[in-house]
């Protein structure tokens, strides 16, 4: 078994390596994360809709640690304003490790997990994300995904292509979703946001925030 394979198959039909833990964040934690989001979205690299083949995504994204643009990671946001993104916070490494532990990863896998980038997405009610793989990372370490605000329909598929088999599940405010091991390169997307479903007290009245923690496997040669 390599370091980041998960040999348990949780009983939620998602297949080995994927886990959905509803209500993993408390309302206090959600509210605190929304407060952090309000700081991150302002800059130094303001939140923006990334352009894919000339078209703006409906989702807006701000990054920590490494800046993602289709389809690469850089320290500076060369597609926005050339500024460097904020450092990846230590508390996010701890959060990512707790997520892996709760999702059933081994102690060895948990302690080796050192996420170094966060993509923080904001979805207004009409935003979507098409089926894609998260494959701009060199590392095969798991992706840890947190949802806050309005619920969404999250489509989690297979590693071969965008079509069936896939599972549509509802990611609600506070939910944790982890995909690693054999599920790491599964196609996934957000087919719709469910307006007016954010719980009172989560800190967000309208729209959805999704935070994904990842290990890029990048080294810091600062050449960008
Ligand atoms: O919003 C989500 O739940 C998924 C986001 C996602 O797939 C991504 O940022 O790559
Ligand atoms: Fe993704």
Query: Per the structure, how many domains does the chain have?
Result: 1
Q: Look at residue 47 and tell me if it is in a domain.
A: yes
Q: Look at residue 3 and tell me if it is in a domain.
A: no
- In the structure, ligand 2 is a single-atom ion and the residues with CB under 5 Å from it are 134
CA distance 31 to 134: 27
CB 131 within 8 A of CB 185: no
Closest CA to 187 of 215, 212, 155: 155
Could you report the per-residue pLDDT of 3-20, keeping only the tens digit for each?
A: 555 555 555 668 889 999
Residue 169 has pLDDT above 50, yes or no: yes
Q: What does the pLDDT read at residue 220?
A: 80
Q: Look at residue 5 and tell me if it is in a domain.
A: no
Report the separation in Å between the CA atom of 164 and the middle of ligand 2, taken as the mean of its atom positions: 17
Whether 129 lines ligand 1, by a CB cut-off of 6 Å, is yes
Percent of the chain with pLDDT over 90: 90
Closest CA to 207 of 218, 222, 196: 196
- Specify which residues 146 forms β-bridges with: 176, 211
Q: Look at residue 220 and tell me if it is in a domain.
A: no
CA pseudo-torsion sign 187, 71, 180, 145 = negative
Q: Considering every ligand atom, which ligand is closest to the CA of 133?
A: 2
Residue 2 has pLDDT above 80, yes or no: no
Could you report the per-residue pLDDT of 186-207, keeping only the tens digit for each?
A: 999 999 999 999 999 999 999 9
Confidence of residue 47 (pLDDT cuts 50, 70, 90): very high
90 marked among binding-site residues: no
Closest CA to 221 of 74, 105, 10: 74
Q: Look at residue 11 and tell me if it is in a domain.
A: no
Task: Tell me which residue range forms the domain holding 94.
Answer: 18-214
Q: What does the pLDDT read at residue 7?
A: 54
Q: Look at residue 6 and tell me if it is in a domain.
A: no
Whether 136 lines ligand 1, by a CB cut-off of 6 Å, is no
Could you report the per-residue pLDDT of 104-125, keeping only the tens digit for each?
A: 999 999 999 999 999 999 999 9
Task: Report residue 55 as tokens.
Answer: 């078209």
Q: Look at residue 224 and tell me if it is in a domain.
A: no
Residue 209: give its domain's CATH number.
2.60.120.590
Candidate from 24, 129, 154, 166 with most ligand 1 atoms within 8 A of CB, to mutate: 129
Confidence (pTM): 0.94
Average pLDDT over residues 143-162: 97
Helix (H, G, I), strand (E, B) or coil at 131: strand
Q: Look at residue 73 and tell me if it is in a domain.
A: yes
Q: Considering every ligand atom, which ligand is closest to the CA of 211?
A: 1
Average pLDDT over residues 166-183: 97
């Amino acid at each position: 078994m390599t370091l980041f394979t998960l040999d348990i198959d949780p009983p939620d039909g998602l297949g080995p390596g994927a886990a959905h833990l509803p209500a993993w964040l408390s309302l206090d934690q959600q509210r605190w994360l929304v407060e952090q989001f309000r700081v991150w979205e302002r800059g130094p690299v303001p939140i923006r809709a990334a352009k894919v083949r000339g078209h703006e995504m409906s989702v807006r994204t701000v990054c920590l640690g490494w800046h993602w643009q289709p389809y690469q990671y850089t320290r500076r946001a060369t597609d926005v304003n050339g500024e460097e993104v904020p450092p990846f916070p230590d508390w996010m490494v701890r959060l990512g490790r707790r997520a892996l532990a709760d999702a059933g990863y081994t102690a060895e896998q948990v302690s080796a997990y050192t996420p170094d980038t966060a993509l923080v997405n904001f979805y207004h009610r009409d935003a979507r994300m098409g089926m894609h793989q998260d494959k701009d990372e060199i590392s095969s370490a798991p992706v840890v995904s947190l949802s806050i605000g309005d619920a969404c329909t999250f489509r989690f598929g297979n590693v071969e292509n965008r079509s069936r088999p896939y599972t549509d599940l509802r990611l609600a405010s506070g939910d944790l979703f982890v995909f690693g091991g054999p599920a790491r390169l599964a196609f996934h997307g957000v087919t719709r946001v469910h307006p007016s479903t954010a719980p009172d007290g989560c800190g967000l009245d309208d729209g959805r925030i999704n935070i994904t923690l990842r290990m890029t496997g990048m080294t810091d040669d600062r050449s960008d």
